[in-house]
Structure 1
Amino acid sequence: MLTFDDAQQRLVHDAPSPTRTELISIYGAAGRVLAEPIHAVLDLPAADNSAMDGYAIRHADFQAGQALPVQEHCFAGETPAPLAQGRATRLFTGSMIPEGADTVVMQEHAREIDGGVEIDAVHCAGQHIRRRGEDIREGQLLLPAGTFVQPAQIGLIAAQGIEQVRVFAKLEVGILTSGDELVEAGNVRAPQQVFNSNAPMLSALVEGMNARVSRVLLSRDNEFELRCAFSQLLTQCDLVISVGGASVGEKDFIKPVLESIGGSLAFCRVLMKPGKPVFASYVAGKPVICLPGNPGAAFSVFALLVSPLIRHMQGRANVFPPVSRIPLRGVTRGGGDRDEFLRVQCRPADDGQAELVPFAEQGAGSVSSMACASGLARIPTGSQFCAGTSAAYYDFRHWLE
């Protein structure tokens, strides 16, 4: 058995990196990963421009109480004439600074009367001018390869006039659930059966990370069906996630089936609660991650172990999201032989500071607390926790992105 940290690192270290790329429009680039760096092709701003609505002047021409004739009004997108000595140009936010001007007076400090402008205050030369290249210089690295593109990054790219970007192809993921007791939602359920919650849950988790679910299969607990299902998924997918049949029961056939189709075991079982039965295998270089069948355990293991693996296989530079430390309320426990991950809700305490509130129901099969949790609090192996102790907090907003 591996420790939790070793399992997390090994999955990322051993998994393949993406190789397939495609050129796409920036309009479809949100949620994709850059396959090559993006450098600036022009300065931003591209020319000196006004940061305010106001008047461009020569600072040396300002004299309190003396009006300066306004030689023109120049809007954003227009090219102003050079500024004549002793005159002013009416500007608007984003207007180019006319040649010869060195200062912008905001309109709140100016009054235009009879074709001239009276200025009541100028604080310093150069005020309210955005200088060419002060934000971005041509040739500057804007975004490295491996950047997970979000709206702000798209705005940065578009500001350079770049229409298309090269990204890694979407990761193709297959999902296999197995068990004679499973029945799909919408079908008639016999008393001995349960509805298959893991398949739609895992599909949503995968899609929520901007990977693509290529195929979802349900298999009975027999080796022939499982072998056929794995063969289909491995043909079509980069990564296969299976649920159930991973333990040591009489009908837990996943490990022997994977061995029969050439799978090599990466690790078997992890010192974590919930999630101990998880194991990983590789078939023809493709990872197969086998999660526990209980939905609470499957969800937790996906968030903690599978999500970094997916980020790595997508080509993202940042694979492990930040882990904060926040006081854990009302818990006195510890000393176990596995790292325990409690489903918690992060809330403001009476003093306004964040605290983690654990749910009473922490069973691996619980779906109620899982649906309300904002993240997981970690209680390390052998540690003693009492109320108010700060715990490592794995926030689903980051770990499932």
Structure 2
Amino acid sequence: MIDVDEALSLFAEHIDPLESERLAVTHALGRVSATEARAKIALPPFAQSAMDGYAVRAEDLAEASDKEPVELRQVGEVAAGDTGRLPRVNKGTTVRVFTGGRIPPGADAVVRQELVTADKSRISFEAPVREGKDLREVGEALAKDTVLVEPGERLDERHIAALAMCGHAEIDVIRQPAITLLVSGDEVISPGIELRPGEIYDANTPLLSSWLGMRRYRNIEIVQLEDDRRTVEKALRKALDQSDLVVSTGGVSVGDYDFFTDAADTLGLETIFWKVRQRPGKPLLFAKGEQTIFLGIPGNPGAVFISAYVYLRRVLDLLEGTSEPGPAMHRGVLAGPVGRSAKRVSWTGANIRYGEDGKVHLEPISGHRLSQVYRADAIVRVPAREGEMEEGDVVEWLAIK
């Protein structure tokens, strides 16, 4: 049996990223960048007006005042999106410009429309203007060749927008893994069917499929299994042949109907570890074949829930080559006492509150069953030690989201 930190390290030692593929940027949300991406253009790509107003030469308005306004002759108009030839601003002239429109040659400032008096083509200015006022220079927001995305970044809507506005139609990302979920247990039946004595409704299938779906994983096959050695071995063999990642629930403990550990050995998988000093989820199994990762999670839905956020998250991040594989742990303070084990890390749910001290305060939820933690905001890691943790003690936690 190993501790939690050793288990997390062993995943990193034994899992390599999958190969890359090229996707349209608009289809890359949630994917992990395989390469660096730089801005193909500067932003803005041309000098543009930041306001609706008039493009001028600042020196023409140096003596303007409300008592002695300066009058300029309007010689043209430029709207956002105009791509034709621009009128030139010469001494004594001005050009009407709109937000986002190109700055005509000769102009070095923009005067907002509410600060002028317009009479047909004669525009009156009652104050000087600073050179560069309300004018966006080329590259002012972002220089060409600026790094937009580093390898290993998981792309969110901000990355997608930045890539698109800087000229990227496609990007190289790590291929998503093909995943098979093997859900075992003769006692587990689908919701909607009347329970018989000894049966329970299946929470693990909807839990894991929803968890993966929320994270935009699409290539998933779900197989529900009876507690039969041949059935388990056959299903595991097929899953290993067609998947990058196999995740099982149940069947990894030491009971007479727990067959996954023996099936993994029979099929030639290398067991990296089995059993972690933690609760829930002690009989966690990590094994690997030539091209497939196998993560065996005990069938308790609370253990499945916590294992998804701690261990499945890490496995997926490593397969996709993220530069900072999860779980993303933070530090906060307990808002109440919580029990702990002398020999094992305990994972427990908590609700997040923000204190006047600016720290995250975590209100523990008693127990780690799914029925107890499903409304939690966070999972708290309670270190192994004698006695009880008290209000104000510092702990590590990860967000449920």
Alpha carbons 1:331, 1:387 under 8 Å: kept = yes
Q: Which residue of 1 aligns with 2:42?
A: 43
Q: Which residue of 1 aligns with 2:162?
A: 156
Q: Which residue of 2 aligns with 1:74?
A: 78
Displacement of 1:337 after TM fit? Answer: 1.7
Structure 1 stretches lacking a partner, 5+ long = none
Per-residue CA shift, 1:131-185, capped at 9, x if unaligned? 1122233333221232322222221122133322332322111111112212223
Q: Which residue of 2 aligns with 1:27?
A: 26
Displacement of 1:321 after TM fit? Answer: 5.5
Q: 1 CA distance for matches of 2:342 and 2:127?
A: 71
Q: Which residue of 1 aligns with 2:222?
A: 216
Q: Which residue of 1 aligns with 2:257?
A: 251
Q: 2 CA distance for matches of 1:191 and 1:74?
A: 78
Which deviates more, 107-116 or 3-12? 107-116
Displacement of 1:332 after TM fit? Answer: 4.5
Per-residue CA shift, 1:213-250, capped at 9, x if unaligned? 43111222221011011011111110011111111122
Match runs of 1:303-342 below 5 Å: 303-320=309-326, 322-334=328-340, 336-342=342-348
CA 143–124 in structure 1, closer or farther in 2 if over 3 Å, else same: same
Q: Which residue of 1 aligns with 2:274?
A: 268
Where 1:333 maps in the other structure, the secondary structure is: coil
Alpha carbons 1:341, 1:378 under 8 Å: kept = yes
Q: 2 CA distance for matches of 1:122 and 1:270?
A: 73
Q: Which residue of 2 aligns with 1:99?
A: 105
Alpha carbons 1:334, 1:381 under 8 Å: kept = yes
Q: What amino acid is aligned across from residue 370 of structure 2 in structure 1?
A: V
2:370 maps to which of 359, 367, 392? 367
Q: 2 CA distance for matches of 1:326 and 1:117?
A: 61
Where 1:306 maps in the other structure, the secondary structure is: helix
Per-residue CA shift, 1:18-74, capped at 9, x if unaligned? 11x333323322222223322222222111111111111111110222122222221
Q: Which residue of 1 aligns with 2:396?
A: 392
1:298 maps to which of 300, 304, 313? 304
CA 59–261 in structure 1, closer or farther in 2 if over 3 Å, else same: same
Q: What amino acid is aligned across from residue 148 of structure 2 in structure 1?
A: L
Q: Which residue of 2 aligns with 1:18?
A: 18
Q: What amino acid is aligned across from residue 60 of structure 2 in structure 1?
A: D
Structure 2 residue 4 is matched with structure 1 residue 4: yes
Where 1:11 maps in the other structure, the secondary structure is: helix
Displacement of 1:349 after TM fit? Answer: 5.2
Structure 2 residue 387 is matched with structure 1 residue 381: no
CA 223–122 in structure 1, closer or farther in 2 if over 3 Å, else same: farther
Alpha carbons 1:282, 1:288 under 8 Å: kept = yes
2:190 maps to which of 170, 184, 195? 184
Where 2:304 maps in the other structure, the secondary structure is: helix
CA 29–332 in structure 1, closer or farther in 2 if over 3 Å, else same: closer
Displacement of 1:352 after TM fit? Answer: 8.2
Alpha carbons 1:2, 1:269 under 8 Å: kept = yes
Q: 2 CA distance for matches of 1:340 and 1:146?
A: 31
Displacement of 1:351 after TM fit? Answer: 7.9
Where 1:212 maps in the other structure, the secondary structure is: coil
Aligned length: 393
Q: 1 CA distance for matches of 2:42 and 2:398?
A: 40
Q: Which residue of 1 aligns with 2:172?
A: 166
Which deviates more, 386-395 or 35-44? 35-44
CA 288–332 in structure 1, closer or farther in 2 if over 3 Å, else same: closer
Displacement of 1:109 after TM fit? Answer: 2.3
Q: Which residue of 2 aligns with 1:132?
A: 138
Displacement of 1:318 after TM fit? Answer: 3.0
Q: 1 CA distance for matches of 2:91 and 2:328?
A: 57
Q: What amino acid is aligned across from residue 222 of structure 1 in structure 2?
A: D
Q: 2 CA distance for matches of 1:341 and 1:23?
A: 39
Identity of paired residues, percent?
27
Q: 2 CA distance for matches of 1:373 and 1:113?
A: 65
Query: TM-score scaled to structure 1, two decimals?
Result: 0.91
Displacement of 1:259 after TM fit? Answer: 0.2
Query: TM-score scaled to structure 2, two decimals?
Result: 0.91
CA 203–104 in structure 1, closer or farther in 2 if over 3 Å, else same: same
1:277 maps to which of 275, 283, 287? 283
Q: 2 CA distance for matches of 1:287 and 1:322?
A: 21
Alpha carbons 2:344, 2:384 under 8 Å: kept = yes
The RMSD of aligned alpha carbons is 2.1
